[in-house]
A and B are shown apart, each in its own frame.
Chain A
Amino acid sequence: MSSQRQLRIVLAEDAVLLRAGLTGLLERFGHTVVASAGDADELIAATGEHRPDIIVTDVRMPPGFTDEGLKAALALRAAQPTLAVLVLSQYVEQTYAAELLDSPSAAGSGGIGYLLKDRVGDVEEFVDALVRVANGATVVDPEVVRQLLSRRRDPLRRLTPREREVLALMAEGRSNAAIARLLVVTEAAVGKHIGSILTKLDLPPDSDDHRRVLAVLAYLRG
């Protein structure tokens, strides 16, 4: 289902069990874990050495077990904006998502992903998200989107229930085709919903998926 592109990945995860599991999972889908890191310094060193297509890192890493992984990812991205970054978090924290989304993302910069660690259990969807991030997309965990939607209720009231569903999927970084598949409707219908949503929320129409996601997220975050 995912593209045929074989990704070179640097994986940072301090729990040995998970690191082995994730490596096995990624390799099973034809990708290569070129290096795995047990802490933030190793992650930075390995990224410099291997020039991967994407780094996958846990937020919480030794030695402080707070947010070393996230900080390292942000630092790497600041130094090299084309680097795609997928951050896995044990919890949904708006703050972490916001810090990632606020990191510089000029045209041609690498994708950004922020997913709950639980999502690795849904292996196909997880690998699909990974590939999308590697291809430059923004992928935000549905849980983050759900929280964002519940916060900005007033203007969203103008949307129909179907439009809200579409908006949530847009904010997660899904393409029109993916939204159509998930909602079992035609792509044309999705396009119509999106046009209606953007009008109701006063957002500029944009054919570029990635920029559209960013606009929707920026709107939701207020």
Chain B
Amino acid sequence: MSLGQHRVRGVWPALPRIVRPAGYGRGVQTRTAWQAVTERPGRFLGSSWPWRSLAYLLSGVLVGLGTLVGLLLLLAVGAVLIAVAVGLLTPVAFVLSGTVLARVERWRLRLVDRDPAPDPHRRPDRPGRWTWARTRLGEQATWREFGYAMLSALALWVIDALVVGVCLAGPVAMMLSPLIGNPVTGYFVLAGLGLLILPAFAYPITAWAAARAALARALVAPRETELGERLIEVARSRARLVDAFELERRRIERDLHDGAQQRLVALTMTLGLARLDLPPESETARQVGDAHDQAKAALAELRELIRGVHPHVLADRGLAAAVEDAAGRSPVPVEVDLSLPARLPDVVEVTAYYAVCEALANVAKHSQSTRGQIRGRLVAGQLMIEVRDDGCGGADPAAGTGLAGLADRLAAVDGRLFLSSPTGGPTVVRVEIPCPRNASSE
């Protein structure tokens, strides 16, 4: 077994993986104020980062002051209303006000940190204000945001104001000295000096802005685990979508099979019988004959259509049998070597089957090959299937929707698609789908 596995593993060569181009390729770019500070002075001072940092701190003062005033007002209102029951809601509103500030802060963060800072909260299960409040109060993120709100209202804005004030006061005062002092040459020298040292203060301003942004990110942006939960949830809902889609295909296939197909078979039978009863050379016999032929053609077309919707040999006999059948229908002779220890989970079988069909269709349509080969094994919990032809190569995943669509479909089950198709051939398409051993049925 281990020898066999080793051998199988050994003959799967490395192939380039196909994925949909994501939003990459923007080149190297400064993403945060921290990075900007460490760049060459010429580049840093010429960039927008010092100005962005200044704007971040100045708006920080305003937002912090606003938060302080808002919280004090809330406390005052709460104190007045404590007499009536409504006042009891004040602490709740007090805590939840942090989420509002956090929203503003995540938006402001973009000034000095280009990396995305998504909302860390999850969507409440049901609509309604109470559900919303309960969901929020149960989340760690809400309390982090409340902490940030307190910090912001009581300390951060003061530090912002101090940093900006200290850094700008000296040079600005120096620059303005010719206006207030006697217009003596010395003051102009002082003003020039102020202008010269002004850029140096871009460093402390940006550095504090960066530190403050890091603090804000730590408190109001989602933590790794919260993001992880969300990714798992996305993957699950994607998998559910695939399952629902597959279920729907089966239903359509069943409906067509039980309905239209049976009726058409009955119709061809009736027409076939009618043909027998008519004098062979009559006009009516010719017309009935035409109708009979057309009904048979419709039946053949419907049969192909239904097979495309969902091949029922796949459900009955599993992947190996279905792939054998698909290979049997290929106009290019295809050799199949697919050995699997047991039935695989439905979604794995279906995905692999469509991948093989797509690859076979490409072999027939584009490769000009004279023969093909399908190999498949279950290796270390991965279903690996390779479709190879001896054709002209040059398959380009960007050219058609087929291969890229296939990559998408595989991605939905955490599978991967690899393609090697040098000009002149041969073309190899390989599909890998994770398939935990204990998940295989039977």
Contact = CB atoms under 8 A, between A and B. Distances in A.
List of 10 A-B pairs having minimum Cβ-Cβ separation, nearest first: A121-B268, A123-B272, A95-B321, A147-B328, A15-B262, A93-B313, A66-B316, A153-B333, A67-B316, A21-B266
B403 interface: no
A180 interface: no
Interface residues of A, number: 32
Interface of A: 15, 17-18, 21-22, 24-25, 28, 60, 65-67, 90-91, 93-96, 117-118, 120-124, 147-148, 150-154
A21 B266 CA distance: 6
A96 B261 contact: no
B296 A21 contact: no
Majority secondary structure of chain A interface residues (helix, strand, loop or mixed): helix
A121 B269 contact: yes
A179 B347 CA distance: 46
Contacts of B216: none
Contacts of B276: 123-124
Main secondary structure of the interface of B (DSSP, over half): helix
Contacts, number: 93
Among B254, B269, B306, max chain A CB count under 10 A is at B269
A15 B271 CA distance: 18
Given A91-B312, A117-B265, A150-B333, A21 B328 contact: no
Nearest to B257: A90
A17 B273 contact: no
Nearest to B258: A15
A66 B314 CA distance: 10
A21 B276 CA distance: 15
B333 A152 contact: yes
B100 interface: no
Interface in B280-306: 292, 295-296, 299-300, 303, 306
A91 B315 contact: no
B266 to A, nearest CB: 5
A209 B323 CA distance: 32
B327 interface: yes
Contact of A151 (B268, B292, B328): B328
15 contacts: A25-B273, A60-B257, A66-B316, A90-B306, A94-B328, A95-B313, A95-B317, A95-B321, A95-B324, A118-B300, A118-B303, A122-B296, A123-B275, A123-B276, A151-B327
Nearest to B303: A91
